[in-house]
Chain A
């Protein structure tokens, strides 16, 4: 079966007076890995369940490969789904779990057996075919769940926080495995997660959601480097926010007065009106140390130096920053050695990497 594009047309969901999902438009392209990212209660699961058919939209429509499926029950949509707790059938063996979808399609027994054998090989569980799910480790259960979801060649693969129950090491390798299977099959995939690192590393595009709305849709690079609002900027990756007010726009540059003095950035990066209270967002990896005695954009005293293995996180006291600290990330050990706790340091950030958004 050909994998399909998914079009969400003004689809929304209300429960009584509660708006779980404000009407949204979203186009998920054929073969694309789309991640719905947001904190719990942001509507991402509602949207996924709408695509699956478990939730009927209060308004709007959902199309798969151009065909309207809004009123179609889940078992008539050609989907594969992986659940947070895997939802493997406890009374069936691994092989029977895998065969379930094929049996529902009433395929000949010999063909089912062949396909199950093939899938067992792909998920590297051939030896475990006759085990029951509870006799498997978390990672193995996860692989069965993925195998069961893709064995029927669905048009769309839906993943509902499939990695959140795994420990950190396993999560990393499962990310790779899921991505590999998805790319080999070229299957349109919708992935729900609240983990921004997962979203950034796996997705073709990310839809960042909060409070029932889509804040931004874009490639991982776009949403990380060019966030459309303060929520997106602070939800993805680490960020330092500095309070300020837009005081002047001159020659394509916006001047924001902060506790640390005026900060200048390209006008296009400040979505503000004159006089508006705002926050300036700075990524930790965009900040560099300024040699002593030279002019710096920001100054402060090093409060803490945290060793993270591959890099150092440096917290610099600054009264104008939200939380009272500026976060700086250094990979160079010699530079990090200079950022001794208690020492006064100067910091610089290229203005093209600064973003300013209205205060929340």
Chain B
């Protein structure tokens, strides 16, 4: 390849972009292996002690467990509710349809802390402020727009004549939904589920308001930790986060390919 000014500039830009995206992760990963109690970069000595600390610290253990509980319930509720409403909005005609769609996706426009404060006040009114319910409800509201987007995309990729064909063969509306629409929506529901899980697991701002000591999620526990300590256990946690999400995404990729083999995905010719 001939190196001229343009190609040099191009590769420089690409390297800068890659560096810009990856640098924080790389720095954090290196810091995690620090032996000292103070964050230094680059580390003078190396150890795994902060991984041990992160894994054994009770608030983190608790927080991870809480996060998983909240994530699972949020995903299930958000996909059921989001899937159902997305179908209703896409396939049925009724007055106020646009309003309903606007309402369900409004959390995109409202700041997370506003939603957090709102639910905190509401939960106090009904004495639910220490329960998981309020955290889960808050998360469902926050992830709903993303779930619905994913479901809409897959609904719109279903050829409407498939549902007509089913109807012409004697399938009533429910049979059509059960045997045609729902199976073909699986990829959309699955990506909605993934969105819901990742967003819920990462959610911090609103959760800070609605979680109590017993229900605090991992990000909230990390925030509380950082307020008191400044050691590299945060960095160690980040590395574990990163590895976990990579594994989940790799798994998803594999599953989606499986979906193609099982012909869940629509025809591509």
Identify the A interface with B (CB < 8 A). 52-54, 73-75, 79-81, 83-85, 87-91, 100-101, 104-105, 132-134, 148-149, 152, 158
Contact = CB atoms under 8 A, between A and B. Distances in A.
B111 interface: no
Q: Top 8 A-B pairs ranked by shortest CB distance?
A: A101-B169, A104-B170, A81-B168, A87-B165, A87-B161, A74-B167, A134-B267, A83-B161
Of residues A83, A91, A149, which shows the largest number of chain B Cβ atoms within 10 Å of its Cβ? A91
Contact of A73 (B159, B167, B175, B268): B167
Contacts of A80: 168-169
A90 B267 CA distance: 6
B264 interface: yes
A88 B164 CA distance: 11
A75 B170 contact: yes
Contacts of B263: 90-91, 132, 134
A74 B170 CA distance: 7
Interface string B149-192: 00000000001011011111111100100011001100000000
A90 B268 CA distance: 10
B158 to A, nearest CB: 9
B111 to A, nearest CB: 41
Contacts of B172: 73, 75
Contacts of A73: 167, 172
Contacts of B269: 134
14 contacts: A73-B172, A75-B167, A75-B168, A75-B169, A81-B168, A83-B165, A85-B159, A87-B162, A90-B162, A91-B263, A100-B169, A105-B170, A132-B263, A158-B168
Given A91-B184, A91-B264, A75 B164 contact: no
Interface of B: 159, 161-162, 164-172, 175, 179-180, 183-184, 263-269
Contact of A81 (B159, B165, B268): B165
Contacts of B168: 52, 74-75, 79-81, 149, 158
Contacts of B171: 75, 100, 104
A152 B180 CA distance: 19
Nearest to B262: A91
A350 to B, nearest CB: 48
A104 B266 CA distance: 23
Contacts of A88: 165
Given A90-B266, A132-B263, A134-B263, A85 B170 contact: no
B175 A89 contact: no
Of residues A53, A75, A132, A158, which shows the largest number of chain B Cβ atoms within 10 Å of its Cβ? A75
A139 B175 CA distance: 29
Contacts of A87: 159, 161-162, 164-165
A304 B195 CA distance: 66
Contacts of A152: 169-170
A294 B183 CA distance: 75
B261 to A, nearest CB: 10
Of residues A79, A87, A105, A134, which shows the largest number of chain B Cβ atoms within 10 Å of its Cβ? A87
Contacts of B175: 75, 104
Given A88-B165, A100-B166, A101-B170, 5 more contacts: A75-B170, A75-B172, A89-B180, A100-B171, A100-B179
Nearest to A158: B168
A101 B167 CA distance: 9
A74 B164 contact: yes
A284 to B, nearest CB: 38
A267 to B, nearest CB: 49
A83 B183 contact: no
A89 B183 CA distance: 10
A69 to B, nearest CB: 13
